[in-house]
Structures are given as C-alpha cells and as structure tokens.
Amino acid sequence: MDLYYSDGDLAFRDQVRAFLASHLPPELQHKVRQHLRLTRDDYVRWHRILAAQGWAAPGWPLEYGGPGWTPLQRHIFEEECALAGTPQVLPFGVNMVAPVIMAFGSQQQKDYYLPRILSCEDWWCQGYSEPGAGSDLAALKTSAVRDADHYIVNGQKTWTTLAQHADMIFCLVRTDPGVRKQEGISFLLIDMRSPGITVRPIAMLDEDHEVNEVFFDDVRVPVANLVGQENRGWTYAKYLLGHERTGIAAVGRSKRELAFVKRLALREQKRGRPLLDDPLFGAKVAALDIELMALEMTVLRVLARGEAAPGPEASMLKVKGTEIQQALTELMVEAAGPQAQPFDPAYLGGAREHAIAGDDDAAPLAGYYFNYRKTSIYGGSNEIQRNIISQMILGL
C-alpha cells in the first residue's frame, strides 16, 4: 500500500475542499463544531446539497447514481467533510440498507428504493436490536408469518435511532421458529406509516430524543418487500454490519475532535501555563494522537482491498474507533473541568445563542461525554467484536 497521495488524489482533495468552502452552510458547520443538536431538517438539508452535486453516496457505483470513486477517494471525501464540520450523511439508508439492496434485492427494489435513498426522499431507520436480542442478535423474536401475499409482523425493536423521523425501517424478523436461530431470519423493508406501528421515545441521559422503541402489532408487509430469499436474512445482516462497523471508525471526525481537545487545552491554564503543556495531560493527548494515526493506517489497508465487502477486520476498526472516540470525550471534559458541568438544553437545542454559564465550548461536553458511552455498544458491542476477531482473524 502506497501511504502517499498521488497528484491526482491531492487534486481531488482540493476539489472537495473548494466545494465544502462554498456549499457548507455556516450555521450547520457551527452546530457540528460546537457539539450542538442537529434537527431532521439539518440532516436533510446537507444530504440534498450533496445529492445535487452527485456526492450524497460516495460508496455507490456509477450504475446506481454514485460518483464511482475509488476507496481512497471516498476516504479523502469523508475525512474532509469531517474536518470541515459537516453534518453526517445518516448511514441507515446510504451505507447500510442500500448495499444490501444492491447485492441481494430484486430489480424492482433497486429501481424504487435506491433513487429515493439517494435523494433523501425516504429517511430510513434500523430494526435489529430487541429487548432480549442485542449482542445476541440471532435471538430476536419479532415474527413474520406469511399470509398470502403479505407477512404479518408482530414484535418489538429497541434503541432504534431517529425512528421518530423515519419513513422506512429495514427489519430482521423470524420467519421460521423451528430451525437453528440463525437460519430462520428474514430481511424485510417496512413502511413506518403502516397501521400497527407505534414509536415510543427512550429518554437519554442528556434529555435528547435520539433513540426509540418500535412496536409491531399485526403489521401487514407485502411479500414484495422481502429482500433476497426467505430465511436468509442472517447472511444479509452480517453483510450490512460489515459496512456499518467500517464506518463507525470515523477517523476524520476523531481528527476534528482531537484538534478541538488541543485548542481547549491551549486555552485552559494550569499553574499559569496552557494545560497542553502539562506533562501528564500532554502525554494523554500524544498517546491518543498515535492511536488515531495507527487506526487511519488500518482503515486505509482495509480500503486498499477494493470493492469487496468488509471482512472481520471491520470489527477491529469498530473496537479501536469507538475506544478513541470515547477517550476524546474524556479528554474534553478533563480539559474543560468544572465548566463542563452546567447542563444547558436551551443552548444545545439552539433556543439560546450562548451558554448560560458563559463558556460555549464547554457547555455541551458533559452531555457529549455521556452520549458517547453508547459507541462501544451499538453496531455490535465491543465484547462481541473481540470474539469475532479472536475466532475469524486469530483462529482461536
């Protein structure tokens, strides 16, 4: 693997930077860089700006409306977006269900859903986890019983991110309870406006409405919304999770947050000198910087393999990426000290221009820290990822 960008790669990076400089709305950039809350309209607005440029789905091939970029170009684009402070293009449609539809869906599903994902006409959410099936996802109990040309779906999903905004949900359901648990699962696309679906919010520690419970009571889903073959959903689920775990590494976002930590530590004083000059705190920052560089090299090694679906190496990226993200939030709170303690929902939600305690940088950090405890759990807990690494990479 060549660790240096070619002249063509550097020219591409300059093109991306020029686009971001001219098209990223300053108010969205401010929200992202200051760790403020984004609305549904914020996410949709940025998605559609990218879609107009043909860049909303950097990993998609040309035949489905993507830019046809190389893996390295995708990495450059995603890193520059993160460094610039763009809202995230939500992964549930573009990076999760879309690759499954491309690989296993019918032509009718491709023709209908992919353009709507690309334009953000449909907002998707993920129906995987259940109260008794989180890390042991194959233990799921949500059932789908065939009734002529429909399935009747009953059950519950939980921790469903932003389901309150969603038009569609891709769901793992049990279609054959009489076989080994991994073999009786199917992959359904379900309209969230279907009768019998109830969405209930789960209040988070920072009082943000981010996740939900989703209940299915005799929900009728057309058989045409089955992706691939019945009872083959576990195969499709693993394919999807490989894409999700690679993206969770979020190298570009961690670079931006590391720069924020350094800026905060230069501002804060300890014994009359910048906190960043303190040997103990500086050593923590340096160690994290080194780990982030190592993670980036590992991401590039995975991407250098080309267009193949990510393998078990995606679990490595997920574990290390989320550990770095959590460590960054810890250093933010440590650097801000008591200024990170005041909880100011009005400022976080945009109802007040400045934090009530007077420190706009520090005000969101405690909530941000608590929120990021989730990263080592979602996408398959890190404990489960270590099992995958030990079995499929180390052969233990």
pLDDT, residue 302, reads 78
Q: Looking at the domain assignment, is residue 107 inside a domain?
A: no
Summarize the chain as % helix, strand, coil (round to 5).
55, 15, 30
Same domain, yes or no: 376 and 294: yes
- 80, 244, 257, 268: the catalytic one is 244
pLDDT 10s digits, 223-275: 999 999 999 999 999 888 766 656 678 899 999 999 999 999 999 999 999 99
Is 257 found in the same domain as 217? Answer: no
- Give the pLDDT of residue 244: 60
Please say if the pLDDT value at position 309 is more than 60.
no
Residue 131 belongs to a domain with what CATH number?
2.40.110.10
Task: Identify the CA nearest to 168 among candidates 149, 181, 187, 185.
Answer: 187
pTM: 0.91
**366 shares its domain with 254:** yes
C-alpha separations of 286 from 78, 257, 264, 291, 333 in Å:
24, 14, 15, 9, 17
pLDDT at 204: 86
pLDDT score recorded for residue 4: 73
Provide the number of structural domains found in the chain: 3
**Domain co-membership, 45 together with 133:** no
Tokens read off for 77? 């684009």
Pair 252, 381 in one domain: yes
In a domain, 2, yes or no: no
Rounded to an integer, the average pLDDT of 144-172 is 97
312 falls within a domain = yes
Say what the pLDDT of residue 289 is.
Answer: 97
Last-in-domain residue among 70, 89, 108:
89
Rounded Cα–Cα distance for residues 179 and 163 (Å) = 31
Tell me, yes or no, whether 339 lies in a domain: yes
* Domain assignment of residue 212, given as a range: 124-231
Residues 186 and 270 in one domain: no
Q: Is residue 117 part of a domain?
A: no
Out of 30, 63, 89, pick the residue that ends a domain: 89
Instruction: With a cut of 90, say whether residue 282 has pLDDT above it.
Output: yes
Burial track 353-388 (b if 16+ CB lie within 10 A, e otherwise): eebebebbbbbbbbbbbebbebbbbbbbbbebbeeb
Residue that terminates a domain, selected from 89, 111, 135 = 89
Q: Which residues pair with 269 in a beta bridge?
A: 274
pLDDT tens-place string over residues 56-108 = 999 899 999 999 998 889 889 999 999 999 999 999 999 999 999 999 999 99
Residues 389 and 344 both lie in one domain? yes
Interval 30-37 mean pLDDT: 96
275 is a domain residue: yes
113 is a domain residue? no
For residues 65 and 20, state if they share a domain.
yes
The reply to whether 376 and 251 lie within a common domain is yes
**Is 97 inside any structural domain?**
no
The overall average pLDDT reported for the chain is 92
Active site residue 244: yes
